[in-house]
């Protein structure tokens, strides 16, 4: 468990979580890391901590650089417990007057989490903190993605410690973008789609603000995954693009099915998208994790959702997905609802109402087919796909 010197006297001292597969409902098939950083200056400074059960890993890494009890300053960029869980053990090792710098909301939230009277030093955007040879500055990034979130910037080394922003859930021994290459971008996109999407307007403002401030950035150090040093502008530009939620010529058909009837409807609709030259993906909800589906939804211009009716309701897995998608507030989508039923047939209407509540443009009424679709019914499904597809093409072309 070695630390890694990422710049002179600046160390990665975080932890690698190889085994996590579910991060509060987000599938993490390749684990994650909790990144923490140690700056050795006249004041020894720890930026962020790790999830509670990885605190000893962090101490082990810090110990190879300095005695952890010699830390002079602690900075908490974000209260969520994957970064603050280790703080009580850190603060316990330090003298009671060791300052803990965080945003004002960070102070409130850390108190509400740990109920400790640490020596909180709330900071706001523009505040600076001298460590001796180096000076840090702070930039509040409220609701990106918690009220407490902030960045810490080190101008002398042109390093931005960006908390969750620009992160990826990806466990590896490599620490830098140039060591892993392009394969990291889908992980970053999934992270954006599932964590930052609802705050896209704020992301746009933040990117503009950082550009106007003229911050020189040689390295971005997020709290998860690899660090961006080869081309930090690339991930900033990717965020600017994702935040726009520009609809692509792409459709996602999401469905669940009991006896393959709703599945047949989905397949017929996909044929229509294909014939219109629209990239299409079919995602069966019990085969694709909700967070994988949302990653595809992020840049899709059309999202069509199918559910059979069970006991007068939509299928529970469809309700799960719709609830999740609603919270992530995707914008600029054309959509539609469909589903097979036996006798009451409420599901497609319920799905349609949910899509409407999210703000989808719905050019058609929900399409229902009783029991098993015949040729005419499948033709109606194709026609629904065609109309949704044509509506999408008008928007994107
Ligand atoms: Fe990685 Fe919002 O915590």
Distance from residue 307's CA to the centre of ligand 1 (Å): 33
Cβ of 148 less than 6 Å from ligand 1 = no
Residue with CA nearest ligand 1 atom 3: 80
Q: Which of 80, 256, 267, 361 is catalytic?
A: 80
CA distances from 263 to 325, 368, 371 (A): 21, 13, 12
Judged by DSSP in three states, 233 sits in helix
Nearest-atom index, ligand 1, CA of 223? 1
Q: Which of 48, 57, 82, 263 is catalytic?
A: 82
Residue 1 has pLDDT above 90, yes or no: no
Q: Which of 11, 17, 57, 145 is catalytic?
A: 145
The vertex-366 CA angle with 271 and 264, nearest 5°, equals 35
Cβ of 169 less than 6 Å from ligand 1 = no
Cβ of 17 less than 6 Å from ligand 1 = no
The Cα 182–Cα 168 span in angstroms is 13
Distance from residue 347's CA to the centre of ligand 1 (Å): 35
Architecture of 4-244 per CATH? 4-Layer Sandwich (3.60)
pLDDT in tens, 240-266: 999 999 999 999 999 999 999 999 999
pLDDT in tens, 81-99: 999 999 999 999 999 999 9
pLDDT in tens, 176-207: 999 999 999 999 999 999 999 999 999 999 99
Cβ of 80 less than 6 Å from ligand 1 = yes
Q: What does the chain come to in residues?
A: 397
Q: Where would I find the H helices in the chain?
A: 55-63, 81-84, 87-93, 104-114, 177-180, 184-191, 200-213, 232-244, 261-275, 290-299, 316-328, 347-358, 375-396
**Catalytic annotation present for 289:** no
Residue 163 has pLDDT above 90, yes or no: yes
Indicate the pLDDT class of residue 336, thresholds 50, 70 and 90: very high
pLDDT in tens, 209-246: 999 999 999 999 999 999 999 999 999 999 999 999 99
Q: Locate tokens 């080190």: which residue?
A: 154
The Cα 198–Cα 195 span in angstroms is 8
pLDDT of residue 223: 98
Distance from residue 77's CA to the centre of ligand 1 (Å): 10
**Catalytic annotation present for 78:** yes
Residue with CA nearest ligand 1 atom 2: 80
Q: Are 78 and 164 in contact (CB under 8 A)?
A: yes
**Catalytic annotation present for 191:** yes
Query: In the predicted model, what is the mean pLDDT of the chain?
Result: 97
Cβ of 83 less than 6 Å from ligand 1 = yes
pLDDT of residue 330: 98
Architecture of 250-396 per CATH? 3-Layer(aba) Sandwich (3.40)
Q: Are 37 and 221 in contact (CB under 8 A)?
A: yes
Judged by DSSP in three states, 142 sits in coil
- Tell me whether strands 45-47 and 37-39 are parallel, antiparallel or unpaired: antiparallel
What's the whole-model pTM score? 0.97
Q: Are 261 and 121 in contact (CB under 8 A)?
A: no
**Catalytic annotation present for 187:** no
The residue-averaged pLDDT of 275-280 equals: 98
Residue with CA nearest ligand 1 atom 1: 164
pLDDT of residue 397: 85
**Catalytic annotation present for 82:** yes
What ranges do the domains of the chain cover? 4-244, 250-396
pLDDT of residue 383: 98
Residue 309 has pLDDT above 90, yes or no: yes
DSSP-assigned states of every residue in 15-39: EEESS--EETTEE-TT-EEE--EEE
Residue 7 has pLDDT above 90, yes or no: yes
Q: Where would I find the H helices in 117-165?
A: none
- Tell me whether strands 99-103 and 73-75 are parallel, antiparallel or unpaired: parallel
DSSP-assigned states of every residue in 320-369: HHHHHHHHH---S-EEEEEEEESSS--HHHHHHHHHHHHT-B--S--EEE
The residue-averaged pLDDT of 344-356 equals: 98
Nearest-atom index, ligand 1, CA of 195? 2
Nearest-atom index, ligand 1, CA of 145? 2
pLDDT of residue 352: 98
Phi, psi (degrees; rounded to nearest 5) at 283: -130, 110
**Catalytic annotation present for 164:** yes
Q: Which of 224, 289, 296, 354 is catalytic?
A: 224
């Amino acid at each position: 468990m070695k630390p890694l010197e990422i710049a002179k006297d600046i160390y990665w001292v975080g932890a690698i979580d190889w085994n996590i597969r579910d991060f509060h409902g987000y599938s993490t098939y390749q684990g994650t890391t909790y990144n923490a950083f140690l700056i050795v200056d006249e004041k020894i400074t720890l930026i962020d901590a790790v999830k509670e059960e990885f605190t000893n890993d962090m101490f082990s890494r810090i110990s190879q650089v300095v005695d952890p009890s010699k830390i002079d300053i602690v900075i908490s960029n974000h209260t969520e417990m994957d970064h603050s869980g280790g703080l009580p053990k850190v603060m316990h090792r330090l003298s009671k007057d060791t300052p803990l710098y965080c945003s004002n909301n960070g102070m409130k939230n850390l108190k509400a989490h740990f109920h400790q009277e640490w020596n909180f030093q709330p900071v706001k955007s523009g505040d600076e903190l001298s460590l001796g040879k180096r000076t840090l500055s702070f930039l509040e990034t409220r609701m990106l993605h918690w009220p407490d979130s902030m960045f810490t910037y080190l101008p002398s080394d042109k390093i931005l410690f960006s908390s969750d922003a620009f992160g990826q859930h990806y466990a590896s021994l490599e620490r830098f973008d140039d060591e892993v290459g392009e394969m990291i971008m889908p992980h970053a996109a999934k992270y954006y789609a599932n964590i930052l999407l609802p705050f896209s307007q704020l992301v746009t403002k933040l990117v503009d603000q950082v550009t106007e401030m003229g911050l020189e950035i040689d390295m971005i150090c997020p709290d998860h995954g690899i660090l961006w040093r080869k081309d930090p502008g690339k991930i900033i530009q990717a965020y600017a693009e994702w935040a726009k939620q520009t609809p692509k010529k792409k459709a996602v058909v999401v469905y669940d099915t009991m006896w393959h009837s709703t599945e047949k409807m989905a397949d017929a609709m996909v044929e229509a998208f294909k014939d219109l030259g629209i990239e299409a993906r079919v995602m069966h909800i019990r085969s694709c994790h909700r967070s994988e589906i949302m990653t595809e939804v992020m840049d899709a211009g059309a999202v069509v959702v199918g559910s059979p009716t069970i006991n007068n309701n939509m299928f529970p897995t469809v309700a799960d997905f719709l609830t999740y998608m609603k919270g992530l507030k995707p914008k600029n989508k054309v959509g539609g609802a469909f589903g097979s039923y036996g006798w009451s047939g409420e599901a497609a209407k319920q799905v349609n109402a949910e899509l409407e509540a999210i703000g989808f443009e719905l050019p058609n009424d929900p399409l229902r087919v009783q029991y098993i679709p015949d040729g005419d019914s499948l033709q109606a499904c194709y026609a629904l796909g065609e109309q949704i597809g044509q509506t999408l093409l008008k928007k994107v072309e």
